[in-house]
Structure 1
Amino acid sequence: MRLTNSTYTYRFLIPAGIIYFVFFLLPTIMSLFFSMTWWSLTDWKFIGLENFKTFLTEPSLNIGFKNTIIYAIVTCVLKVFLGFLLGAFLSSKLKTMGFIRSMVFFPTLLSSVAIGIAFVMMMHPTQGLINMALKTVGIVGPDWLGDSKIALLSVALVDVWKGVGMATVIFIAGIMSIPEDYYEALMIDGGNTFHKFWNLILPLSRPAMNSVIILAFIGGLRSFDLIWAMTKGGPGFSTDLIASIIYKQYQAGFYGLSTAGNVILFLLVSALAFPLYAYLNKKEVDL
């Protein structure tokens, strides 16, 4: 049997299509179904949209929704800002740049749970390393994780410390892809370091910046492991995110309710991420 180019191409897509169906489409369809049921490991009962109604009337949901948006915006902005500055600096050709890049990227490789546990100890109000260091210079450190006013920001800063390395790597790749001819033309026209940064690096690294914004924003909306390792949503509900509310419902044995919460979180992330992606693509500068 003679294969046409079209048939030959589609046959190469079959393995990827099977993997996509098994690990994405099938779990998504099953989640939609089980979100409309009361279910346990041995039994299930179809109850329609009751789980969605119950989840949306959850008393702590308003706090969780507000915290999720604040957390996503704060972590996204800081990762983009710090990642871009570090990326611009680490794109130079100094001999020690390889080592510095490794050090910046290293926290990304660590487990979020391990980082959370370590920072819980470091942020202890009396015995933590951070407050002990502040005490040596005459500053009384706050209760980073016990004060409801700053607990969410404290966890967000740890998230930024962990994730800024990935943002930096993306920015380095974007900046180093700018053709050298552009820099040479700028220098011929009398440009200096500031002009190089403002007129070349900043606008031409827009594709990398768009990628970092999307990834950081979605990551902030879906964040769970670091929050749970450090505060478990406390004190009170001050650091509860939508994902942690879903997990608490799962812990309590409300499996259908938690599945409905996951579907709502998926819809929320999609509703916010796709318009942002479309807007950023309109602003993108092509090389």
Structure 2
Amino acid sequence: MYPLWFHLPAGVFFLVLFAIPTIASFYFSLTRWTLFDVEFIGFDNFVQFFREPALVQGFTNTFVYAFLTSALKVVLGLLLAVLLTSQIIARGFLRSVVFFPVLVSTIGVGVTFQVLMDPFDGLINQVLGSIGITGPGWLTDPSLALFSVALVDVWKGVGLATLIYIAGIVAIPAEYFEAAKVDGASSLTNFRYIILPLARPATVTVVILSLIGGLRSFDLIWAMTRGGPGFTSDVIASVIYKQYQAGFFGLSTAGNVILFVVVAAIIFPLSWWLNRKDSE
């Protein structure tokens, strides 16, 4: 029984910081509440939330943003990891450079790129203008705003994906590469038949973490566009936050429950399927 006591601190943290707030959220999503009053109204908040015109746009944007950023992090993270595990000059320094954006504040990154992507005075468009290219409105063009934020998200998060892939590639036994070298295998053959299949656990981890982060994304989008222009870069989390700002606390709590269910409905089956395929 003695070792079981070591689970107690983690259990207390889980209960206080996750279980109780989650149960409370499900309850308050069924109410119209303020700091001083609670009125039970059933599923009216959920009905009203799905009638919001921005919700369909927010749902669509959330899935586009999550799948786009996840796919780019997987592809770029794997390619960078292959490069940074090869025999190149200044490999350690380059690893630090790739990972550095992960350590920077998300809000700081958002504010910085908001300035850099300014359509008139931003450094990016100034550089493009110096070579005769008219830069677009990265954050003011409705067709580009969401994708511009997604690219910044990839820039900030690809370092973590690269680190996970580096760990996965380094863990591959050297005997595989030695045997492939004896057989005269090329680098592309090594990548296709050794690295890709044996780094699958790293791929599963990157996919799951990236999707969770993309579906729950808020801070970077809010710092760069606040869901604009209009509702074109709104995601579920920013729609929920706007409801909080407007004082519709029960409605926004219902939105949080919807977001929790959406993330769980995607991540748990996907995680089960990926891990099942990995064990076969």
Q: TM-score range by the shorter chain?
A: over 0.9
* Counterpart-to-counterpart distance in 2, 1:16 and 1:78: 34
Letter in 2 for 1:76: S
Residue 14, structure 1, aligned to residue 13, structure 2: no
Partner of residue 235, structure 1: 229
Superposition map of 1:191-270 within 5 A:
191-270=185-264
Superposition map of 1:157-168 within 5 A:
157-168=151-162
In structure 1, which of residues 78, 86, 101 is the aligned counterpart of residue 95 of structure 2? 101
Residue 26, structure 1, aligned to residue 20, structure 2: yes
Stretch of structure 1 that moved more, 25-34 or 10-19:
10-19
* Count of residue correspondences: 280
Letter in 2 for 1:150: L
* Deviation readout 1:31-63 (Å, 9 max, x if unpaired): 111111111112211111111111111111111
* Counterpart-to-counterpart distance in 1, 2:120 and 2:31: 48
Residue 56, structure 1, aligned to residue 50, structure 2: yes
1:223–1:243 CA contact under 8 A, matched in 2:
yes
Stretch of structure 1 that moved more, 85-94 or 198-207:
85-94
Partner of residue 188, structure 1: 182
Q: Secondary structure at the match of 1:283?
A: helix
Q: Secondary structure at the match of 2:12?
A: helix
Where in structure 1 do 4 or more consecutive aligned residues deviate above 6 Å? Answer: none
* Deviation readout 1:223-248 (Å, 9 max, x if unpaired): 00010011111111100100000000
* Counterpart-to-counterpart distance in 2, 1:92 and 1:9: 44
Superposition map of 1:68-87 within 5 A:
68-87=62-81
CA drift of 1:139 comes to: 0.7
In structure 1, which of residues 139, 142, 147 is the aligned counterpart of residue 141 of structure 2? 147
Partner of residue 127, structure 1: 121
Residue 271, structure 1, aligned to residue 259, structure 2: no
Letter in 2 for 1:255: F
* Counterpart-to-counterpart distance in 2, 1:95 and 1:15: 46
CA drift of 1:182 comes to: 1.1
In structure 2, which of residues 37, 44, 65 is the aligned counterpart of residue 43 of structure 1? 37
CA drift of 1:123 comes to: 0.5
* Deviation readout 1:88-135 (Å, 9 max, x if unpaired): 111124451111111111111111111111111101111100011111
Gaps of 5+ in 1: 1-6
CA drift of 1:8 comes to: 2.2
Provide the identity percentage: 56
* Counterpart-to-counterpart distance in 2, 1:235 and 1:70: 17
Residue 112, structure 1, aligned to residue 124, structure 2: no
TM-score calculated relative to the size of structure 2: 0.97
The alignment's C-alpha RMSD in Å is 1.2
